[in-house]
Homo-oligomer: A and B are copies of this chain.
Amino acid sequence: MKIINKKIYISKIPIEKLTKKYGTPIFVYDEKKVRDNFRRVAKAFQKYYPKFKLYYAIKVNSNPAIAKILINEGAGVDAASINEILLAQKLGLKKEKIIFSGNYLSDDDLKAAIKSQAIINLDDISLFSKLLKFGQPELISFRINPGIGKSNVGEGATTAGPKAKFGIPHEKALNAYKEAKNAGIKNFGAHMMTGSCVLEPKYFQKITAKLMDIIGEISQKLKIDFQFIDLGGSLGIPYKEDEKELNIDKTIKLISKTIKEKAKYYKISEPLVCMEPGRYFVGNSGYLIGKVHAIKHSYNTFYGTDINMNIVPRQILYKAFHKIYVDNKINQKKFDTLLTGQICEQTDVWSKDQKLPKLDLNDLILIENCGAYCFGMSYKYNGRLLPAEILVNKEKSYIIREAEKFEDMIKNTKIPQHLTSLK
């Protein structure tokens, strides 16, 4: 996004032009930003630790075109469910490029996972014997809870530590690998995912050291080698204005240094290092654009837009901050403003957390950092259906998901005959 003469551009297209073509509300993604984000991480690994693989945690935004950009860049896909594995396969990924990190899986999930031949990060030891019912995988990786977790976007995104529902407590990890070894498994990996959206390089060093200690001790005790460690995602992006960008070069440098030192200390070979960022690759590439439709002078003045709560779940689910820009009004004086959507709930009120310029009817509103966990969590509500997704590449734009229509609202539904035959 950039500003030229107070007008907002995404890549080389003014948002006014996009809304004339596609209407509002729309999600718009900038292809170049996605590529740049991926390359920044890949480049740092090339520099410090070339034995790496990056996976895209597709849960954050499962639009096939977005995933395809990253796949073209060389990413694999980290899937949270069988449907996400199916999507990765449909996008042409080979089995070794798909990693499956589910939790509390059903027998059907495990059966399909074995069939897919994806690399499996098993979330608990109890799932291992269930998995064997359906086949013996070539390799097994367990998700380990290293006992510490952190997130910059709320407790709900802290996915390790004593409260977390995820992973095997590190004290019990040895037993898990022992059981797998006894069952005849020859190849091993170790996975962790301790939280979301962390912005401090040293945190990554700390958890990497912890995981290396865990696999170092297990390697020595069980005489097994770890082919890979999977450090999870966690690479953060700034949402609030006072937050600084994560220094990727420094982060990967610290991770790399730690792995090498620990491998030497435990006399184990340096493992392949996997990471599975989602938010970092796409979060800042996406924007939501809406329009001011009505201005009401009630006990307060409300500015009504089509940026409804159902399409921007982070704001209501996590009280997340997303900076708002108004086209043609950049740098104008700002005031306390109540921006609302069209949903019949009082929760559907925006911008309590930031000041905005004086708004007029038909003003275009842009919300930043909407590439991750926005469309991916949006829901139909009040008959307000899901908006279109647009991809922008320099001066070109493409619809990558059509806006839902009335037919999508009643899709899959049936009225039993006894209800239609009555009056």
Residues of A within 8 A of B (CB): 58-59, 62-65, 68-69, 72, 79-84, 86-87, 90, 101-107, 109, 123-124, 126-127, 130, 145, 155-159, 162-169, 193, 291, 293-300, 302, 304-306, 310, 313, 316-317, 338, 340-349, 376-379, 381-385, 389, 391, 393, 398-404, 406, 408-416, 418-420, 422-423
Contact = CB atoms under 8 A, between A and B. Distances in A.
B408 A87 contact: no
Interface centre among A86, A103, A166, A347 (most CB of B within 10 A): A103
A411 B63 CA distance: 10
A313 to B, nearest CB: 7
A389 B165 CA distance: 28
B165 A104 contact: no
Interface centre among A82, A83, A90, A341 (most CB of B within 10 A): A83
B294 A87 contact: no
A404 B416 CA distance: 19
A344 B159 contact: yes
Contacts of A377: 310, 379, 381
Contacts of A302: 104, 165
Contact of A156 (B84, B347, B400, B419): B347
B415 A294 contact: no
Given A64-B413, A400-B415, A410-B64, A168 B104 contact: no
B87 A383 contact: yes
A87 B410 contact: yes
Nearest to A196: B345
A137 to B, nearest CB: 18
A390 to B, nearest CB: 10
A103 B306 CA distance: 10
A164 B109 CA distance: 45
A124 B79 contact: no
Nearest to A338: B165
A404 B83 CA distance: 11
Contact of A158 (B124, B346, B383, B409): B346
Given A65-B413, A385-B83, A103 B344 contact: yes
Contacts of A69: 419
Contacts of A103: 304, 340, 342, 344
Given A105-B293, A384-B83, A416 B398 contact: yes
Contacts of A382: 59, 80-81, 84
Contacts of A102: 342
Given A80-B382, A86-B406, A104-B342, 9 more contacts: A83-B383, A103-B344, A124-B298, A164-B299, A317-B347, A377-B381, A393-B416, A398-B414, A408-B411
A59 B300 contact: no
A124 B344 contact: no
A145 B406 CA distance: 31
B410 A90 contact: yes
